[in-house]
Structure 1
C-alpha cells in the first residue's frame, strides 16, 4: 500500500556522503515518496515529479515551485552519493536517467510550459530505497515543510534515524563527510556558526522535533557532537485529543487477540503512526509492537483516534 507523503530510506543513505541543494533534495524525496513501500520495484521504474508535488509535500509557494523544480533538474543527473563501510568506500550515481520537456533550456520559461521531470534511480541506489525490511529510517515529507536549508534536512534525517533512542553522538569528522564539508569551514567555530546552529534553529522552529546538542573534546579539540531530541509536546497532545465517548477505551480493551492484531496491522500502514516506529524495524515488526501497545490502557487511549480511522467501531 502506498503511503502518501512517507519517505523511507536505507540507513546507508541517511549516513552517506552527498551534496544536494534544497531543491535537489526535494526532487529526490518527491520520487522516493512514490516508491511502493514494502515491495521490490524495478531499477527501471520511471517517476514523474511536477511543481505541484513540491507544493503538496514541502509547502513550497506555487510562484516559486516551477523555478525550484527547474533548478533541481539542472544538475541532479551529475550528482553522486558516497557510501562508506569499514572495508570499502563506494561512489554511485543517484540517477541513471533524467528527462525534462522542452523548452527547458530557454532562459525565460513560462510556468505553463514547464510540465514535469521524469527520473529513474540508478541500479545501485534502487535497493537502498525499495523493499526495505530492516535498517531503514522513515518520516513524513510534511515534517520538512519550512526547512529551507539543505543541511537542516540532512541533520533532521540523522535525528529521525535515532528518534526512539532520543540521542546520538556523531564524530565531527563523520558529520563533515555526510554533509560534504571536509575542506569547508576548517575552524570548528565557523562550522558551528554557519552550519550546525542555523540547521538546529530551523529544525526546532519548523519540524515536529525539538533538538539540543553538546560538544565533546578529545584533548583540546572538539571531536564529537551529541544531539539530544524529542517530539514537541504539542504533537503528543494532538494524538491524545479525541471527541469520542470515554467508554471507547473500555471497548478497545475488550478486543479479541485476533482483532487486536488485525487493527495493529492497519495502524502500521498509516503515515500518522510513523512517529511511533523504530527506524530499523520492518512493517511486520511494527505491527506486532502496536498490538502490544494496545494492551496498555494509556496507549489504547492515545491510539483511539487512529483506530477509528481504520474502522474500529464504538458499538460493541
Structure 2
C-alpha cells in the first residue's frame, strides 16, 4: 500500500456515521460485531444530496457501491486472505435478511429492515447495496435529533456490545449521565432472555466491563457506571459520560488505528 492509499484509508476512517436518536435509543436488534461495523461503514458513505439532484426531485440517495478491498482496508481486515469476497457476501446477506424493532411514538413497535437489495460482482470486487426505504426517517434530514461519530471509534472494538453501548452513550452525551433500568438495558441489547446474562455478575463481566474498557480506550468519550440496588438486587445502571478533549481524542484515534493493524 502506497502513502496515498494510506492517507485515503485514514480519511475514510474519519468519515461521520450519522443516525437519528430514535434509531440509536429506541431500536432493538441483534447484529454481530462485523454486521454493526458494516452498517456503520455504509452510513459513513451517506453524504448530503447534490443541489442539482434535489432540483431533479431526488431527495436522498439510497444506493451505494464500494470496492470490497477498500472496505477491508478501512475496517482493518486482511484484504489479501482470499476469503474476503465470500465473507463480505455472507455479511451483506445477513444484513439483507435481518430486521430490527423500532419503538414508535405511540409505544407500538415497527419492524424495519436494514438493506433492501444487494448485488456483488466478483470480477471487479465491487458490492452494491440499497438501503431499506423504511430507514429514510432515521438516516436523512435529521435536523437536531441525531447521533454522530467518526467511523474509527468503533472499528477496533472486539465486542458487539461495546459498539451498541457506545452509540447509546454518544446519543446521551449531552446529558452527561443516563440511568437505565437493568431490564430495559438488557432488552435494548437483546439479551433479556439469554441465560448466560441472567446473573448480574456475568452481565457485568461479559458486557459492561468490556464495553467500558473499549469505549474509554478507543473512542472520543469516557464512561463509568455504578449500580443502583433494591435490597440486594441490582435494578438500575447509572452511566456517567464525558467528552474527551482534543488531545485525548487524537490519542484514542491513534490507538484505534494501531489495533486495526499496520497500513501495509
Do the structures match in fold with TM over 0.5? yes
In structure 2, the residue matched to 1:30 is: 41
1:99 corresponds to 2:119: yes
Matched, 1:80 2:91: no
Q: 1:58 to 1:221 in 2, by over 3 A?
A: same
Match of 1:69 in 2: 88
Which of 177, 193, 202 is the matching residue for 2:205?
A: 193
8 A Cα contact 1:173 1:223, kept in partner? yes
Using the TM superposition, name which of 8-17 and 224-233 deviates more.
224-233
Q: RCO greater where, 1 or 2, for CA within 8 Å and sep 6 or more?
A: 2
Match of 2:184 in 1: 174
Residue pair 2:49, 2:61 contacting (<8 A) in 1 also: no
Describe how 1:296-315 pairs up with structure 2 within 5 A: none
Q: Secondary structure at the match of 2:37?
A: helix
Structure with greater Cα Rg:
1
| Alignment CA distance shift 1:225-1:54 (3 Å) | farther
Classify 1:203/1:93 alpha carbon distance in 2 versus 1 (closer, same or farther; 3 Å). same
Q: Distance in 2 between matches of 1:89 and 1:5?
A: 31
Distance 2:155 2:241 in 1: 19
CA contact (8 A) 1:43 1:123 kept: no
What's the CA shift for 1:213? 0.6
Q: Which of 151, 154, 163 does residue 173 from structure 2 map onto?
A: 163
Extract unaligned runs of 5+ from structure 1.
Answer: 103-112, 239-316
Give 2:254's aligned residue. none
8 Å Cα contact 1:21-1:72 kept in structure 2: no
Matches within 5 A, 1:226-241: 226-233=238-245, 235=247
Q: Aligned pair in 2 of structure 1 residues 98, 218: CA closer, same or farther (>3 Å)?
A: farther
- Classify 1:117/1:212 alpha carbon distance in 2 versus 1 (closer, same or farther; 3 Å): same
Structure 2 gap ranges (5+): 1-12, 251-264
State the partner residue of 1:205: 217
For residue 87 of structure 1, report the CA deviation from its aligned partner.
2.4
Counterpart of 2:186 in 1: which secondary structure? helix
Distance in 2, matches of 1:128 and 1:227, equals 25
Q: Shift in Å at residue 214 of structure 1?
A: 0.5
Contact 1:50-1:69 at 8 Å conserved across structures: no
Q: SS in structure 2 opposite 1:147?
A: coil
SS of alignment partner, residue 124 of structure 1:
helix
- Pick closer, same or farther for the CA change 1:74–1:8 going to 2, 3 Å: same
Alpha-carbon shift at residue 186 of structure 1 (Å): 1.6
**How far is the alpha carbon of 1:38 from its aligned partner?**
7.9
* TM-score normalised by the chain length of structure 2: 0.75
* Aligned counterpart, 1:46: 63
More strand by share: 2
> Which deviates more, 22-31 or 113-122?
113-122
